[in-house]
């Protein structure tokens, strides 16, 4: 039966365990229809296409943007 020659240190033990919990950046590819970056195997959030087919109709850009802030609400006087 195999027996360890040296005790495994806390640092080595934790480094080994940390490999399962690491956070990776998501893969992104350009959309073949509009060129925007999107996750693979998903509908493009900017144009609504997937595998060359339109899945859903996108609403206009003006309605999706939040309203602009007015100067009297951004800077308090006093």
CA distances from 38 to 35, 43, 50, 68 (A): 9, 8, 10, 27
Instruction: Look at residue 63 in the predicted model and tell me its pLDDT.
Output: 46
List pLDDT tens digits, range 15-69. Answer: 988 888 778 888 999 999 888 999 999 999 888 888 888 888 877 665 455 666 6
Strand, helix or coil at 37? strand
pTM over 0.95: no
List pLDDT tens digits, range 25-37. Answer: 889 999 998 889 9
Domain boundaries, the chain: 26-61
């Amino acid at each position: 039966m195999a027996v360890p020659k040296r005790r495994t240190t806390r640092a080595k033990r934790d480094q080994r365990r940390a490999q399962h919990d690491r956070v990776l950046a998501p893969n992104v590819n350009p959309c073949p229809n509009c060129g925007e970056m999107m996750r693979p195997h998903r509908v493009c959030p900017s144009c609504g296409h997937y595998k060359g087919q339109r899945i859903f109709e996108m609403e206009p850009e003006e309605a999706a943007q939040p309203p602009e802030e007015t100067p009297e609400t951004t800077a308090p006087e006093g």
